[in-house]
Amino acid sequence: MPKVSKNNALNTILVLLLFLVPIHVLQAEGKKCLYVSSFHPDHPSSKRIEAELKRQLRNSCKFEEHYLDGKRSREVSAIRMQALLAKQKVDSWKPDVVIVSDNIASKYLLAEHFGSSKIPFVFCGANPAVESLKQPHPNATGMIELPPIQPVFDLARKTVIPLKKGAYLGADTEAERTHLLRYQETGKKYDVTVDGFFATTGKGWIENLKAAQAYDFIVLGSREGIDRWEPTTMIFASQKYSTKLTLTNNQWMMLYALIGFTKIPEEQGAWAGRVAKEILNGASPKDIPLTSNRKFAVFINPSFKKTIPVEIPKDLEMSAEYID
């Protein structure tokens, strides 16, 4: 009987062990996915997108993150500098796919630096107001974010008669001005004008809230980018001064609004993660059609029922989640 050397025996064991390794682990080895958020790590919506992305891609690639902090940046020059740092990250790390979320990363990273690149991009959370996304890039696909704006107008039309003008309150940032444009465009279909009120401080936001009571209804945009925002003070002011139907598309603004129609960030993250896996397995972004989100959640803050004299439809009350 021939002798088997220790080296040969060890090699045999290693080969056998190799067959025990799951195929998806072998596929993931060496693959890299980079997630670039338009905002900061604790931004509520972006954080939920990232968590779902990680869940979808946990066995498919090495995952790293980069943040542009655009929600709190008021100057385009500062945003472009952050996008340049993200570009350097892409150039040096050489990911197999880049996932970007929201308008800022889609516009200032994908469109300005990688629109004609061979690196595959998947975007999510970007709305149609981003001009560069109206002409799809061959290396990119994505999920267009459509905030549930129409339900806001539908409810306002049911509960406020006559309905002529609305106010939009937000931070003094590019992202919030973009959201105002969406409301103004939708308002035209309802013969309703929407004026914007933008603040840089909590005190300024309260003054805007008081001025907005002259309107038929109020929409609260994001507070990201507003300095000296003290939640206790802002809740007190909101409950003190709010007398008109007040709505929001941001779940984290429900402390200051009566009703919220909000996007579900996990829908964006799940779709982007599944598409990123397809690309890692050889699919081309140009062969994957653009899509849009289809789901939204409804919230009611009962604290405002006493100060805002509107009758909420029974079907809405039954389907909504209540804020404590």
Q: What is the pLDDT of residue 108?
A: 94
Largest Cα separation within the chain, whole Å, is 99
- Please say if the pLDDT value at position 134 is more than 80: no
Q: Are strands 140-144 and 165-171 parallel, antiparallel or unpaired?
A: unpaired
Cis peptide before 22 (omega within 30 of 0): no
Residue 130 binned pLDDT confidence (cut-offs 50, 70, 90): low
Residue 324 binned pLDDT confidence (cut-offs 50, 70, 90): confident
β-bridge mates for residue 226, sequence order = none
- Rounded alpha-carbon distances, angstroms, from residue 253 to 245, 263, 312: 14, 13, 19
Integer Cα distance of 159 and 44 in angstroms: 30
pLDDT digits (tens, 9 = 90+) for 270-291: 999 999 999 999 999 999 999 9
- Whose CA is closest to 76, among 170, 177, 145? 177
Query: Do 22-145+265-294 and 149-263+297-322 fold alike per CATH?
Result: yes
Residue that has been written with the tokens 């939204």 in this structure: 296
pLDDT digits (tens, 9 = 90+) for 178-223: 889 999 999 999 999 999 999 999 999 999 999 999 999 999 999 9
- Please say if the pLDDT value at position 25 is more than 60: no
- Please say if the pLDDT value at position 72 is more than 60: yes
Average pLDDT across the chain, whole number: 89
- Please say if the pLDDT value at position 23 is more than 80: no
Q: What is the pLDDT of residue 21?
A: 46
Model's pTM, two decimal places? 0.73
Sheet holding 245-248, edge to edge: 193-199, 165-171, 217-220, 245-248, 259-263, 296-300, 321-322
Going from N- to C-terminal start, the domains of the chain cover: 22-145+265-294, 149-263+297-322
- CATH number, domain 149-263+297-322, options 3.20.10.10, 3.50.50.60, 3.30.830.10, 3.40.50.2300: 3.40.50.2300
Q: Are strands 296-300 and 259-263 parallel, antiparallel or unpaired?
A: antiparallel
- CATH 3.40.50.720 assigned to domain 22-145+265-294? The reply is no
pLDDT digits (tens, 9 = 90+) for 135-190: 568 899 999 888 899 999 999 999 999 999 999 999 998 889 988 999 999 999 99
The CB-side HSE value for 98 (13 A sphere, CA atoms) comes to 29
Integer Cα distance of 252 and 229 in angstroms: 13
Alpha carbon of residue 5 to chain centroid: 59
What are residue 99's phi and psi, to 5 degrees? Answer: -110, 125
